[in-house]
Amino acid sequence: MSIPEPRSAVAVTAPEVTVRARVGVTLQRAGGHHAELVTFSGLPDGAQHLAIVLGEPARDAPLVRLHSECLTGDVLGSARCDCGPQLEESLRRIAVEGGAVLYLRQEGRGIGLYNKLDAYLLQDRGADTFEANELIGREPDERDYGVAALMLGALGMKRVRLLTNNPDKVAQLREHGIDVADALPTAVHRTAENARYLEAKALHQGHTIALKGA
Protein backbone atom coordinates (compact mmCIF):
# COMPACT_ATOMS: atom_id res chain seq x y z
CA MET A 1 0.00 0.00 0.00
CA SER A 2 1.16 3.57 -0.52
CA ILE A 3 2.53 5.23 2.61
CA PRO A 4 1.46 8.86 3.11
CA GLU A 5 3.90 11.56 4.01
CA PRO A 6 3.81 12.52 7.70
CA ARG A 7 1.90 15.59 8.72
CA SER A 8 3.82 18.52 10.11
CA ALA A 9 4.39 17.92 13.80
CA VAL A 10 4.63 20.38 16.65
CA ALA A 11 7.75 19.83 18.75
CA VAL A 12 6.82 18.74 22.26
CA THR A 13 8.68 17.12 25.12
CA ALA A 14 7.63 13.48 25.15
CA PRO A 15 6.90 11.98 28.56
CA GLU A 16 9.08 9.13 29.77
CA VAL A 17 7.25 5.87 29.23
CA THR A 18 8.74 2.67 30.61
CA VAL A 19 7.79 -0.98 30.78
CA ARG A 20 5.99 -1.73 34.05
CA ALA A 21 5.56 -5.51 33.86
CA ARG A 22 5.88 -8.46 31.49
CA VAL A 23 3.57 -11.43 32.05
CA GLY A 24 3.93 -14.67 30.10
CA VAL A 25 0.76 -16.34 28.79
CA THR A 26 -0.33 -18.88 26.21
CA LEU A 27 -2.91 -17.43 23.83
CA GLN A 28 -5.38 -19.71 22.11
CA ARG A 29 -6.40 -16.79 19.88
CA ALA A 30 -2.79 -16.76 18.67
CA GLY A 31 -2.85 -20.43 17.72
CA GLY A 32 -1.63 -21.59 21.14
CA HIS A 33 1.60 -19.57 20.92
CA HIS A 34 3.32 -18.05 23.92
CA ALA A 35 3.11 -14.29 24.41
CA GLU A 36 4.14 -11.60 26.84
CA LEU A 37 1.53 -9.12 28.05
CA VAL A 38 3.38 -5.87 28.63
CA THR A 39 2.11 -2.97 30.73
CA PHE A 40 3.57 0.53 30.94
CA SER A 41 4.25 3.36 33.36
CA GLY A 42 3.97 7.01 32.36
CA LEU A 43 1.41 6.79 29.58
CA PRO A 44 0.18 10.37 29.19
CA ASP A 45 -3.52 9.60 28.69
CA GLY A 46 -3.71 7.41 31.81
CA ALA A 47 -5.41 4.57 29.91
CA GLN A 48 -4.41 0.96 30.46
CA HIS A 49 -3.10 0.18 26.99
CA LEU A 50 -1.43 -3.20 26.52
CA ALA A 51 1.29 -4.62 24.30
CA ILE A 52 1.08 -8.28 23.32
CA VAL A 53 4.59 -9.34 22.29
CA LEU A 54 4.70 -12.55 20.28
CA GLY A 55 7.38 -14.75 18.77
CA GLU A 56 10.90 -13.42 18.37
CA PRO A 57 10.62 -9.82 17.20
CA ALA A 58 13.23 -8.90 14.61
CA ARG A 59 15.71 -6.28 15.72
CA ASP A 60 15.10 -4.43 12.48
CA ALA A 61 11.44 -3.68 11.70
CA PRO A 62 9.36 -6.23 13.65
CA LEU A 63 5.76 -6.73 12.55
CA VAL A 64 3.36 -4.56 14.59
CA ARG A 65 -0.40 -4.14 14.68
CA LEU A 66 -2.17 -1.19 16.33
CA HIS A 67 -5.55 -2.59 17.33
CA SER A 68 -8.20 -0.38 18.90
CA GLU A 69 -10.35 -2.03 21.53
CA CYS A 70 -13.74 -3.29 20.31
CA LEU A 71 -15.64 -5.12 23.02
CA THR A 72 -18.52 -5.96 20.71
CA GLY A 73 -16.29 -7.42 18.01
CA ASP A 74 -13.23 -8.69 19.91
CA VAL A 75 -15.04 -10.26 22.87
CA LEU A 76 -18.64 -10.83 21.80
CA GLY A 77 -17.96 -11.66 18.16
CA SER A 78 -20.30 -9.04 16.69
CA ALA A 79 -20.66 -9.29 12.92
CA ARG A 80 -21.25 -5.53 12.54
CA CYS A 81 -17.50 -4.92 12.13
CA ASP A 82 -14.34 -6.79 11.18
CA CYS A 83 -12.48 -6.09 14.45
CA GLY A 84 -12.58 -9.59 15.96
CA PRO A 85 -11.33 -11.37 12.82
CA GLN A 86 -8.63 -8.73 12.30
CA LEU A 87 -7.40 -9.18 15.89
CA GLU A 88 -7.21 -12.95 15.58
CA GLU A 89 -5.48 -12.74 12.19
CA SER A 90 -2.95 -10.29 13.61
CA LEU A 91 -2.19 -12.42 16.67
CA ARG A 92 -1.62 -15.51 14.54
CA ARG A 93 0.51 -13.77 11.90
CA ILE A 94 2.66 -11.93 14.41
CA ALA A 95 3.12 -15.08 16.51
CA VAL A 96 4.80 -16.65 13.48
CA GLU A 97 6.81 -13.64 12.30
CA GLY A 98 7.59 -12.06 15.66
CA GLY A 99 6.48 -8.63 16.82
CA ALA A 100 3.68 -7.05 18.82
CA VAL A 101 0.00 -6.20 18.87
CA LEU A 102 -0.67 -2.96 20.71
CA TYR A 103 -4.16 -3.25 22.19
CA LEU A 104 -5.27 0.36 22.53
CA ARG A 105 -8.19 1.31 24.78
CA GLN A 106 -9.89 3.49 22.17
CA GLU A 107 -13.33 1.91 21.88
CA GLY A 108 -15.52 3.17 19.05
CA ARG A 109 -12.66 5.04 17.34
CA GLY A 110 -12.13 6.90 20.59
CA ILE A 111 -15.71 7.82 21.58
CA GLY A 112 -16.30 5.03 24.12
CA LEU A 113 -18.59 2.02 24.32
CA TYR A 114 -21.86 3.72 25.26
CA ASN A 115 -21.44 6.38 22.58
CA LYS A 116 -20.61 3.70 20.05
CA LEU A 117 -23.83 1.87 20.83
CA ASP A 118 -25.77 5.14 20.56
CA ALA A 119 -24.18 5.58 17.14
CA TYR A 120 -25.24 2.06 16.18
CA LEU A 121 -28.87 3.14 16.58
CA LEU A 122 -28.29 5.93 14.07
CA GLN A 123 -26.57 3.50 11.72
CA ASP A 124 -29.70 1.35 11.89
CA ARG A 125 -31.60 4.40 10.57
CA GLY A 126 -29.27 4.88 7.60
CA ALA A 127 -26.18 6.81 8.75
CA ASP A 128 -22.80 5.26 8.09
CA THR A 129 -20.34 4.66 10.93
CA PHE A 130 -18.60 8.05 10.53
CA GLU A 131 -21.77 10.08 10.00
CA ALA A 132 -23.30 8.49 13.09
CA ASN A 133 -20.39 9.65 15.27
CA GLU A 134 -20.89 13.20 14.04
CA LEU A 135 -24.64 13.06 14.64
CA ILE A 136 -24.04 12.39 18.34
CA GLY A 137 -21.64 15.33 18.52
CA ARG A 138 -18.33 13.51 18.25
CA GLU A 139 -15.55 13.46 15.65
CA PRO A 140 -15.64 10.75 12.97
CA ASP A 141 -12.39 9.33 14.40
CA GLU A 142 -10.92 10.59 17.69
CA ARG A 143 -8.01 8.16 17.96
CA ASP A 144 -4.51 9.49 18.67
CA TYR A 145 -1.65 7.09 18.02
CA GLY A 146 0.94 9.19 19.81
CA VAL A 147 0.58 6.90 22.84
CA ALA A 148 1.24 3.90 20.58
CA ALA A 149 4.49 5.53 19.45
CA LEU A 150 5.54 5.94 23.10
CA MET A 151 4.76 2.29 23.79
CA LEU A 152 6.81 1.19 20.80
CA GLY A 153 9.68 3.36 22.00
CA ALA A 154 9.58 1.74 25.43
CA LEU A 155 9.69 -1.68 23.73
CA GLY A 156 12.71 -0.64 21.65
CA MET A 157 10.70 -0.87 18.42
CA LYS A 158 11.59 2.40 16.73
CA ARG A 159 11.40 0.93 13.20
CA VAL A 160 8.48 -1.34 12.34
CA ARG A 161 6.48 -2.99 9.61
CA LEU A 162 2.87 -2.09 10.27
CA LEU A 163 0.01 -4.53 9.74
CA THR A 164 -2.81 -2.19 8.72
CA ASN A 165 -5.24 -1.07 6.05
CA ASN A 166 -5.44 2.42 7.58
CA PRO A 167 -3.06 5.08 6.20
CA ASP A 168 -3.73 7.37 9.19
CA LYS A 169 -1.95 4.92 11.49
CA VAL A 170 1.14 5.11 9.30
CA ALA A 171 1.03 8.90 9.14
CA GLN A 172 0.56 9.37 12.89
CA LEU A 173 3.33 6.93 13.86
CA ARG A 174 5.73 8.68 11.51
CA GLU A 175 4.65 12.04 12.91
CA HIS A 176 5.58 10.79 16.37
CA GLY A 177 9.02 9.51 15.40
CA ILE A 178 8.44 5.86 14.49
CA ASP A 179 10.05 4.74 11.23
CA VAL A 180 7.38 2.74 9.38
CA ALA A 181 9.42 0.68 6.94
CA ASP A 182 6.40 -0.93 5.29
CA ALA A 183 2.63 -1.25 5.62
CA LEU A 184 1.13 -4.68 5.08
CA PRO A 185 -2.65 -5.12 4.68
CA THR A 186 -4.77 -7.49 6.67
CA ALA A 187 -7.20 -9.80 4.92
CA VAL A 188 -10.66 -8.49 4.03
CA HIS A 189 -13.08 -10.03 6.54
CA ARG A 190 -16.24 -9.05 4.71
CA THR A 191 -19.68 -10.36 5.56
CA ALA A 192 -23.20 -9.37 4.59
CA GLU A 193 -23.53 -7.52 7.92
CA ASN A 194 -20.29 -5.53 7.83
CA ALA A 195 -20.10 -4.73 4.09
CA ARG A 196 -21.46 -1.19 4.50
CA TYR A 197 -19.11 -0.56 7.42
CA LEU A 198 -16.09 -1.59 5.32
CA GLU A 199 -17.25 0.52 2.40
CA ALA A 200 -17.46 3.56 4.72
CA LYS A 201 -13.90 2.99 5.95
CA ALA A 202 -12.63 2.83 2.37
CA LEU A 203 -14.60 5.96 1.38
CA HIS A 204 -13.95 8.21 4.39
CA GLN A 205 -10.47 7.16 5.51
CA GLY A 206 -8.91 5.64 2.42
CA HIS A 207 -8.51 2.18 3.93
CA THR A 208 -6.89 -0.21 1.46
CA ILE A 209 -9.75 -2.69 1.35
CA ALA A 210 -10.41 -4.72 -1.79
CA LEU A 211 -14.20 -4.61 -1.64
CA LYS A 212 -15.08 -6.09 -5.01
CA GLY A 213 -15.14 -9.84 -4.99
CA ALA A 214 -14.16 -9.99 -1.31
Q: Judge contact between 200 and 129, C-beta under 8 A.
A: yes
Q: Residue 143 catalytic?
A: yes
Give the chain's length. 214
Catalytic residue chosen out of the listed positions 109, 138, 143, 161: 143
Catalytic residue chosen out of the listed positions 93, 109, 138, 141: 141
Nearest-angstrom CA–CA distance, 103 and 29: 14
Q: Residue 74 catalytic?
A: no
Phi and psi (nearest 5°) for 179?
A: -85, 105
Q: Which residues pair with 36 in a beta bridge?
A: 24, 53
Q: Pairing mode, if any, of strands 18-27 and 50-54? A: unpaired
Q: Which residues are catalytic?
A: 141, 143
